[in-house]
């Protein structure tokens, strides 16, 4: 069992991801914007953060940078979940410290598989 | 003598009644067209289109040109905010127009800029020499450093040379764009290959809460001078501009936020730096060129509010701005007088331009003289109170109806203001605007008319050019059927 | 004094009546604004609560189970929610959601509304229908020929978004003819539909209409369809400059040295064409 933080502003997507993660037996926390997501991350020190890119207040990329700059999160894995599908966007996300990248429309099973792969590293 | 005065007052009042009946009549018709257009736009399912534009590799790229002169406080946030917009391919071109502050240093500290030998296009012409060229490795941010000639248009023209995408978007460094603004403004280009330019709705940013370059909360501003402008912008943009565009008579795309096909702008040589009304000038020039060459073209307008910009927050700053708009309009009309009532130029020549000449430009003369004579006549008994009441109805009454209708359209279509309180304030403001502010405004516009007619040097020309301060008041954000905004240089006398 | 004019304002009470009417209209407008705000807030609040209530049922559907029977309004809200979610996911999740929607007869009303005389109604129905579009290719194909340009464009976007590769030939043919769709929208749709083989282009790669053929060949290159090489090379011999240039561009994109022979055989008919062809020949030779 791992602690997973999901930061996503779309409620439907969030509900689906939460559902899958809970089914897999993880402890799940959620937030709906970048700023609050950072706060929640500091409070729970998750093993995995699933981040939307386009969010109000702070975008996923900025959150990613912040998390990576903080030694507290050295062991935290980051997975970006976004509709941004251009090659250069994926490059930017990975350069910012994301460990994996899933493009919307997404498959929740694939997302779970990737999340578990990251967690078992 | 008394008999003559009676006759005179009587006829003046009648001229006034007819004049205002036509003016408000046309305005209400355009408003109605605009309302229909808005309701169609709002109800049309657009999220699919926007998300397809966002996700598609064939979406045309946008070069965003941001002229900046001494913008050290806001430039980094502005660039970050532009980078965060929902759009697949943006290339930002910041033109550092001879800044004497840290503008460039801030950019260099925050972004991975390095000198570049990128070849610039040869056109359009501009005066201020380009001294340095910097860009990020990925090329999504280019900084053009140039000598300033204290003209925004010159900076934009220099920026155009570095703009390499199919579409160019010109904005001010302090314009705040909504997250989907670029998707909205590009949609017409994608849907119709003959679209040459697209304007967007601009709203006063005063009262808006901003976080890291993005609008987070919208409330009515506190000061009346700002509130009044909110109502003016609503009426002018939401309905007036949309209305004009729907009958193919759009004349102005505001410099605070507008997009054009790059080749169309280059064909007319970029912005005309001699014009006080550079943004209206550009649209008129592009339209004229397309008409002259008998090419199909369209100037589109996106009714969705997408851009927020700061407006003057003192009456003295506002008065300067409005005098200048009025004068700029006069100069534009003089320059393009061949187009007026020329059937070759379609709705723009036959309807929009004459309307602007008769009602927007000369309007204040009728307003001041007419109101004075009618009121004096009614008080002294030279005309009957009934006649005066009729005059009052066609001028003030119909205006109030159109203002309130604008508020209604905003409220039912976009409802950007989050609290009920703001809506009530908005309603109250429409009355204050018409009953109090309108008179003052008319007086300012009259001064502009005087300057244009007697070819007085333009305000920013006579004053020692302090350069353009885009931060804060005095920076003119918009124009409108009511108050054509024509110029966005800030001048010494309105600098805070 | 002309007698007829003064007669108007002296109609007893006319001016007063006008002023009163204006005041009433203004008062009414203001009232409507406030009422509209209050009602909309209340409705939005209710819909939000309803959505929160039915959201858990989506998860049941995704897991392949049938959710408990709901009251009519809740069921409608759930349908909307499922449709929204379906466009965000793919694979099994999407399949489960769309199958449930079809089971709910979700498509019936929308298919009917897609025949409405009003463009706006057709467009909205099409938009709502999008999540299950791939199950009704014939309906989408019909909408590609809609009499309203914006509806046709929307249909193209739906086809692309739903990955309906079978509609690629129909999309391409809409470049020309009576009910055209802007070329850019067609290209975007075909690219999104992402056909995996040139076979899905049908006979558009040999179409007698130059614009259709040029667009098809161009897109085959942009999609990197390796099996399109022969069709693209055949375009080099076309009498149309558009088709020839499209072929040259696509050969460049595919980057296969196998095309060198065809390029060298090509008879260029303008200096520009010659230049482009030589550039590509050079690129392919150097590798």
Residues C109-139 have pLDDT tens digits of 899 999 999 999 999 999 999 988 988 999 9
Grade residue B412 by pLDDT with cuts at 50, 70 and 90. Answer: confident
Tell me what percent of the residues of chain C surpass a pLDDT of 90.
58
Q: Report the half-sphere exposure of B198 (CA within 13 A, side-chain side).
A: 27
- Banded model confidence at residue B183, pLDDT cuts 50, 70, 90: very high
Domain count, chain A: 1
Q: CA B423: distance to chain centroid?
A: 24
Counting Cβ atoms within 10 Å, is residue B222 exposed (0-12), middle (13-18) or buried (19+)?
Answer: exposed
pLDDT for the residue B459: 52
Given this model, what pLDDT does residue B482 score? 36
Using an 8 Å CB-CB cutoff, list chain B residues near C9: 384, 386-387, 389-390
User: Residue C43 pLDDT more than 90?
Assistant: yes
| B44 neighbourhood in chain C, CB within 8 Å | 120, 123-124, 150
Whole-number pLDDT of residue B388 = 84
The residue among A105, A107, A114 with the most chain C CBs within 10 A of its CB, best to mutate, is: A105
| C191:B58 CB<8 A | yes
Task: Pick C2 or C48 by higher pLDDT.
Answer: C48
Residue predicted with more confidence, B275 or B349: B349
DSSP per position, B263-289: HHHHHTTS--TT-TTHHHHHHHHHHHH
Question: What separation in angstroms does the CA of B155 have from each of B295, B320, B366, C38?
Answer: 30, 23, 38, 47
Of the candidate ranges B448-457, C7-16, C98-107, the one whose mean pLDDT is the lowest = C7-16
Interchain proximity C158–B400, CB inside 8 Å = no
Q: Which helix (H) or strand (E) holds C156?
A: helix C149-161
Q: What pLDDT does C139 receive? A: 93
C244 versus B399: which is more confidently predicted? C244
pLDDT of residue C6: 55
How many domains does chain B divide into?
A: 1
The residue of chain A nearest to residue B52, with distances taken between CA atoms, is A83
Other CB atoms closer than 10 Å to residue B344's CB: what's the count? 12
Q: Which residues of B106-143 are buried (b: 16+ CB within 10 A; e: fewer)?
A: bbeeebebeebeeeeeeebebebeeeebbbbeeebbbb
Q: What Cα–Cα distance (Å) separates residue B448 from each residue in B9, B358, B457, B483?
A: 27, 15, 11, 12
The pLDDT of B279-301, averaged and rounded, is 88
Query: Do the beta carbons of residue A14 and residue A30 sit within 8 Å?
Result: yes
Predicted confidence at residue B492, as pLDDT, reads 26
C15 pLDDT above the threshold of 80? no
Residues in B closer than 8 angstroms to C28, CB to CB, are: none
User: Which pLDDT score is estimated for C8?
Assistant: 56
Q: Which two tokens stand for residue C220?
A: 């085959």
Distance from CA of C120 to the nearest CA of B (A): 6
Peptide bond before residue A105 is cis, with ω within 30 degrees of 0? yes
Q: What is the rounded distance in angstroms from the CA atom of residue B246 to the CA atom of residue B343?
A: 18
pLDDT, position B88? 84
Main-chain dihedrals φ then ψ at residue C118, nearest 5 degrees: -95, 125
**Does the distance separating the beta carbons of C94 and A104 come in below 8 Å?**
no
> Quick check: C224 pLDDT over 50?
yes
Q: A118 CA to chain C: closest CA distance, Å? A: 21
Query: B297: domain range?
Result: 1-45+192-496
C26/B401 touch (CB, cutoff 8 Å), yes or no: yes
Question: For the ranges B152-166, B230-244, C68-82, C86-100, which has the lowest average pLDDT?
Answer: B230-244
Confidence band of B470 (pLDDT split at 50, 70, 90): very low
Q: Name the closest residue on chain A to residue C80, using Cα atoms.
A: A12
**In the structure, what pLDDT confidence band is assigned to residue B486 with cuts at 50, 70 and 90?**
very low
- Using CA coordinates, name the residue in chain A closest to C91: A107
Q: Identify the band that residue C4 occupies on the pLDDT scale cut at 50, 70 and 90.
A: very low
When pLDDT is cut at 50, 70 and 90, the band that residue A9 belongs to is confident
Contacts of C22 in chain B (CB under 8 A): 393, 397-398, 400-401
Q: Which pLDDT score, from 0 to 100, does residue C240 have? A: 92
How would residue B68 be classed by pLDDT, with cut points 50, 70 and 90? very high
Residue C98 lies in a domain: yes
Structural domain count of chain C: 1
Question: C42 CA to chain A: closest CA distance, Å?
Answer: 20
Binding partners of B (≥3 Cβ pairs within 8 A): A, C
For residue A76, what pLDDT is reported?
Answer: 92
What are φ and ψ of residue C213, in 5° steps?
-65, -45
Q: What is the pLDDT of residue B491?
A: 27
CB atoms within 10 A of CB C143: 24
Count the neighbouring beta carbons within 10 Å of the beta carbon of residue B238.
25
Distance from CA of A31 to the nearest CA of C (A): 16
Other C-beta atoms within 10 Å of B165: how many?
16
pLDDT tens by residue, C150-172? 999 999 999 998 889 999 999 99
pLDDT digits (tens, 9 = 90+) for B334-365: 888 888 888 888 888 888 888 888 888 888 88
Q: Range of C68's domain?
A: 52-104
Contact B51 A58 (CB under 8 A): no
Provide the mean pLDDT of chain C: 89
Smallest Cβ–Cβ distance between C188 and the set B56, B386, B389 belongs to B56
Provide the residue range defining the domain that includes A19: 3-119
pLDDT of residue B103: 92
The pLDDT assigned to A42 comes to 92
Average pLDDT over residues A77-88: 84
Domain contains C70: yes
H/E segment holding residue B131: strand B130-136
Chains that touch C (3 or more CB pairs under 8 A): A, B
Which DSSP helix (H) or strand (E) runs through B113? strand B113-115
- B212: chain A residues, CB-CB within 8 Å: 57-58
What is the structure's pLDDT at C7?
Answer: 52
Q: Do A10 and C88 touch (CB under 8 A)?
A: yes
For range B166-180, the mean pLDDT: 89
> In terms of CA atoms, which chain B residue is nearest residue A58?
B212
Work out the pLDDT band at B135, boundaries 50, 70, 90.
very high
Residues 176-215 of B with CB under 8 A from A: 179, 211-212, 214
Nearest Cα to B203, choosing from B219, B187, B188, B190?
B219
Select the residue from B47, B48, B56, B88 to test the A interface by mutation, using most A Cβ atoms within 10 A: B88
Average pLDDT over residues A95-114: 90
B301-312 b/e (C-beta count within 10 Å ≥ 16 → b): bbbbbbbbbbbb
The answer to whether position C115 is within a domain reads no
What pLDDT does residue B239 have? 64
Residue C192 touches partner B, C-beta closer than 8 Å? yes
Mean pLDDT of chain B: 83
Inter-chain CB proximity A108 and C84 less than 8 Å: no
Q: Where does the pLDDT of residue B465 fall: very low under 50, low under 70, confident under 90, or very high at 90 and above?
A: very low
Give the pLDDT confidence of A29-50 residue by residue, as tens digits. Answer: 999 888 899 999 999 899 999 9
Residue of chain C minimizing CA distance to B421: C34
- The contacts of residue B295 (CB under 8 Å, 6+ apart) are B194
Tokens of C197: 């083989």
- Chain A residue numbers with beta carbons less than 8 Å from the beta carbon of C55 are 11-12, 15
Task: Tell me the pTM.
Answer: 0.84
pLDDT at B493 over 80: no
> What's the confidence (pLDDT) of residue B147?
93
Q: Mean pLDDT across the stretch B400-413?
A: 89
- CATH number, position A48: 3.40.50.2300
Confidence of residue B229 (pLDDT cuts 50, 70, 90): very high
Segment B26-53 mean pLDDT:
87
Contact C165, C189 (CB under 8 A): no
Asked if the model's pLDDT at residue B395 lies above 90, the reply is no
In a domain, B55, yes or no: no
Is it the case that residue B461 has pLDDT exceeding 70? Answer: no
DSSP-derived pairing of the beta strands B141-146 and B195-204: unpaired
Asked if residue C153 lies in contact with residue C168, where contact means CB atoms within 8 angstroms, the answer is no
């Amino acid at each position: 069992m791992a602690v997973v933080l999901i930061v996503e502003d779309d409620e439907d997507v969030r509900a689906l991801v939460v559902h899958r993660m809970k089914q897999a037996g993880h402890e799940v926390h959620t937030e709906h914007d970048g700023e609050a997501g950072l706060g929640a991350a500091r409070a729970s020190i998750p093993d995995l953060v699933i981040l939307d890119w386009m969010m109000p207040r702070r975008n996923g990329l900025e959150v990613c940078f912040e998390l990576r700059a903080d030694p507290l999160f050295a062991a935290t894995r980051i997975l970006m979940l976004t509709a941004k599908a251009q090659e250069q966007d994926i490059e930017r996300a990975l350069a910012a410290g994301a460990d994996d990248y899933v493009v919307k429309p997404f498959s929740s099973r694939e997302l779970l598989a990737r999340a578990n792969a990251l967690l078992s590293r | 003598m008394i008999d003559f005065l009676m006759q005179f007052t009587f006829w003046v009042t009648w001229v006034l009644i007819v004049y205002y009946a036509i003016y408000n009549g046309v305005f209400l018709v355009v408003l109605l067209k605009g309302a229909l257009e808005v309701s169609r736009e709002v109800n049309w399912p657009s999220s699919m289109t926007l998300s397809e534009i966002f996700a598609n590799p064939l979406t045309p790229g946008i070069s965003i040109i941001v002229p900046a002169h001494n913008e050290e406080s806001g430039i980094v946030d502005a660039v970050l905010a532009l980078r965060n917009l929902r759009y697949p391919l943006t290339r930002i071109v910041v033109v550092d127009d001879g800044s004497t502050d840290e503008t460039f240093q801030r950019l260099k500290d925050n972004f991975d800029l390095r000198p570049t030998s990128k070849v610039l296009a040869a056109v359009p012409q501009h005066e201020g020499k380009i001294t340095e060229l910097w860009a990020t490795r990925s090329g999504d941010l280019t900084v053009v450093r140039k000598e300033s000639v204290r003209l925004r248009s010159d900076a934009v023209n220099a920026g155009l040379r570095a703009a390499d995408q199919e579409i160019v978007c010109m904005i001010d460094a302090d314009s705040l764009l909504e997250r989907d603004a670029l998707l909205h403004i590009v949609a017409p280009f994608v849907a119709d290959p003959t679209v040459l330019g697209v304007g967007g709705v601009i709203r006063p940013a005063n009262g808006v809460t901003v976080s890291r370059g993005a609008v987070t909360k919208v409330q009515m501003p506190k000061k009346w001078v700002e509130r009044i402008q909110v109502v003016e912008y609503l009426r002018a943009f939401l309905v007036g501009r949309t209305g004009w565009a729907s009958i193919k008579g759009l004349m102005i795309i505001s410099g605070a936020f507008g997009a054009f096909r790059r080749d169309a702008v280059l064909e007319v040589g970029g912005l005309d730096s001699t014009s006080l009304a550079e943004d209206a000038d550009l649209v008129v020039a592009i339209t004229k060129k397309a008409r002259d060459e008998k090419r199909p073209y369209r100037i589109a307008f996106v009714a969705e509010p997408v851009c927020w910009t700061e407006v003057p927050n003192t009456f003295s700053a506002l008065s300067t701005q409005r005098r200048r708009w009025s004068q700029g309009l006069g100069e534009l009309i003089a320059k393009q007088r061949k187009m007026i009532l020329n059937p070759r130029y379609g709705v723009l020549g036959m309807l929009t331009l004459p309307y602007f000449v008769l009602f927007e430009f000369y309007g204040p003369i009728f307003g001041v003289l007419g109101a004075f004579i009618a009121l004096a006549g009614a008080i002294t008994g030279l005309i009957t109170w009934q006649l005066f009441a009729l005059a009052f109805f066609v001028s003030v009454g119909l205006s109030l109806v159109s203002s309130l209708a604008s508020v209604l359209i905003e409220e039912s279509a976009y409802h950007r203001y989050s609290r009920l309180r703001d809506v009530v304030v908005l309603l109250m403001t429409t009355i204050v605007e018409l009953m109090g502010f309108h008179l003052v405004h008319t007086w300012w516009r009259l001064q502009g008319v005087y300057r244009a007619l007697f070819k007085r040097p333009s305000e920013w020309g006579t004053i020692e050019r302090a350069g353009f301060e885009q931060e804060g008041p005095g920076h003119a954000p918009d124009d409108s059927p009511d108050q054509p905004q024509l110029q966005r240089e800030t001048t010494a006398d309105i600098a805070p | 004094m002309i007698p007829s004019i003064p007669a108007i304002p002296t109609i007893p009470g006319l001016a007063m009546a006008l002023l009163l009417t204006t005041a009433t209209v203004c008062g009414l407008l203001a009232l409507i604004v406030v009422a509209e705000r209050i009602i909309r807030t209340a409705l939005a609040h209710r819909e939000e609560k309803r959505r929160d209530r039915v959201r858990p049922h989506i998860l049941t559907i995704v897991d392949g189970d049938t959710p408990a029977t709901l009251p009519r309004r809740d069921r409608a809200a759930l349908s909307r929610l499922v449709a929204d979610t379906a466009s965000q996911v793919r694979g099994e999740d999407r399949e489960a959601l769309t199958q449930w929607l079809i089971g709910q007869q979700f498509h019936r009303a929308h298919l009917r509304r897609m025949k409405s005389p009003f463009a706006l109604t057709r467009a909205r129905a099409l938009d709502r229908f999008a999540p299950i579009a791939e199950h009704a290719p014939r309906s989408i194909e019909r909408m590609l020929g809609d009499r309203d340009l914006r509806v046709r464009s929307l249909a193209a976007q739906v086809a692309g978004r739903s990955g309906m590769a079978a509609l690629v030939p129909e999309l391409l043919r809409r470049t020309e003819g009576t009910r055209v769709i802007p070329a850019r929208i067609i290209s975007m749709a075909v690219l999104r539909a992402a056909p995996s083989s040139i076979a899905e282009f049908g006979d558009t790669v040999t179409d007698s209409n130059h614009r259709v053929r040029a667009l098809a060949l161009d897109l085959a290159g942009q999609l990197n369809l390796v099996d399109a090489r022969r069709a693209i090379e055949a375009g080099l011999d076309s009498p149309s400059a558009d088709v020839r240039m499209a072929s040259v561009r696509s050969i460049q994109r595919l980057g296969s040295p196998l095309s060198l022979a065809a390029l060298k055989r090509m008879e260029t008919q303008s200096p520009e064409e010659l230049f482009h062809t030589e550039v590509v020949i050079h690129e392919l030779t150097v590798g």
